């Protein structure tokens, strides 16, 4: 049963934006997107993170349109794109984007993803058809940290995962529970103190980005079904294109081992190590062994 928010109830869910929005039908789901810039310019695909829609890039599009033909897309289950119950996996989302590049962009593209979108950028850099992706930007991606049983470092349950679990519990798949007041009231008791800044606001209702979000995404990450068949270490060993990896705020609590931020220094080193190992002619090594006791900057 669909809840209060989503594409079935656009008047309550969405707000207008400056760029015209369009839909592309993959065959399974309709993906919402915007495009700026001339077709003669290099193609750039922007992939938002979890709980975000294309308009997280709206201000950046003003600048990017002068250099690129830039496309910003809503992933399945977010924004105005369709909901796909039981089908939120990295492989399904990655293949959505392959079809988008092939049929909408129509030529090889650079891909740039933020947070969970950065994991999908990594997926495309590894698994897209040869020649379709020219290069990839992983912007602060939760590689390893968004897995339930990662090959190195903290899991999703030692980081941001509890907030996703609360979205699933109190809001429900496709917002079919919709207990926003319960989410707000119970967050102080169910979230670790370091997550205080991430607690949901106690205003009149959910913020715009969460109205446009299917909380089943959160359940898929918390339970690990999102990464079914997509081990991150194996994916990184398959990377075939140049990569820019940007690592943003992070801190590991020395008492609990919990991570504040998307990815730890250890996991960043592992990400870089797997990519070096995948480059032709480079020696293969296991970064989880080489960097088992990293010295973290204070």
Q: What is the 3-state secondary structure (H, E, C) of 240-252?
A: CCCEEEECCCEEE
Lowest mean pLDDT among 10-24, 64-78, 164-178, 246-260: 246-260
How does pLDDT run across 74-133, given as a tens digit for each residue?
A: 999 999 999 999 999 999 999 999 999 999 999 999 999 999 999 999 999 999 999 999
* Cβ atoms 32, 76 nearer than 8 A: no
Average pLDDT over residues 136-157: 95
Q: How many CB atoms lie within 10 A of CB 226?
A: 26
Nearest to 163 by CA among 148, 185, 183, 136: 183
Phi, psi values for residue 213, rounded to 5°: -120, 130
Average pLDDT over residues 228-239: 95
Q: How many CB atoms lie within 10 A of CB 46?
A: 26
**pLDDT greater than 80 at residue 282:** no
**pLDDT greater than 90 at residue 27:** yes
pLDDT given for residue 274 in this prediction: 59
Task: Please give the angle made by the CA atoms of 64, 67 and 73, to the nearest 5 degrees.
Answer: 40
pLDDT given for residue 283 in this prediction: 37
pLDDT bin (cut points 50, 70, 90) of residue 146 is very high
Please give the domain boundaries of the chain with CATH numbers for all domains.
Answer: 10-155+223-290 (3.40.50.1820)
pLDDT given for residue 215 in this prediction: 98
How does pLDDT run across 185-201, given as a tens digit for each residue?
A: 999 999 988 887 778 88
pLDDT bin (cut points 50, 70, 90) of residue 296 is very low
pLDDT bin (cut points 50, 70, 90) of residue 275 is low
pLDDT given for residue 255 in this prediction: 84
**What does the block give as tokens for 191?**
């979230």
How does pLDDT run across 161-177, given as a tens digit for each residue?
A: 999 999 999 999 999 99
Distance (Å) of CA 140 to CA 16, 111, 187, 269:
28, 14, 25, 13
Q: Tell me the torsion sign for CA atoms 66, 94, 74, 112.
A: negative
Q: How many CB atoms lie within 10 A of CB 285?
A: 12
């Amino acid at each position: 049963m669909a809840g209060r928010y989503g594409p079935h109830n656009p008047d309550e869910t969405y707000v207008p934006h400056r760029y015209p929005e369009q839909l592309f039908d993959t065959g399974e789901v309709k993906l919402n997107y915007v495009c700026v810039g001339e077709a003669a310019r290099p193609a750039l695909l922007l992939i938002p993170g979890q709980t975000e829609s294309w308009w997280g890039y709206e201000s950046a599009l003003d600048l990017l349109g002068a250099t690129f033909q830039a496309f910003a897309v809503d992933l399945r289950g977010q924004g105005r794109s369709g909901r796909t119950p039981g089908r939120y996996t990295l492989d399904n989302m990655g293949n959505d984007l392959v079809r988008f590049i092939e049929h909408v962009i129509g030529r090889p593209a650079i891909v740039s993803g933020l947070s969970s979108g950065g994991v999908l950028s990594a997926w495309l850099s590894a698994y897209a058809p040869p020649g379709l992706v020219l290069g990839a930007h992983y912007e602060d991606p939760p590689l390893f940290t968004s897995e339930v049983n990662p090959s190195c470092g903290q899991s999703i349950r030692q980081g941001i995962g509890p907030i996703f679990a609360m979205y699933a519990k109190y809001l429900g798949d496709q917002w079919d529970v919709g207990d926003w007041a319960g989410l707000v009231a119970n967050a102080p008791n169910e979230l670790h103190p370091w997550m205080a800044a991430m607690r949901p606001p106690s205003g009149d209702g959910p913020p715009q980005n969460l109205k446009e979000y299917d909380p089943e995404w959160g359940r898929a990450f918390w339970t690990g079904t999102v990464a079914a068949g997509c081990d991150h270490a194996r994916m990184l060993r398959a990377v075939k294109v140049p990569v820019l990896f940007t690592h943003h705020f992070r801190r590991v609590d020395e008492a609990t081992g919990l991570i504040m931020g998307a990815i730890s220094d250890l996991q960043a080193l592992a990400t870089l190590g797997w990519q070096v190992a995948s480059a032709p002619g480079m020696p293969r090594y296991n970064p989880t062994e080489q960097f088992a006791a990293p010295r973290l900057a204070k």
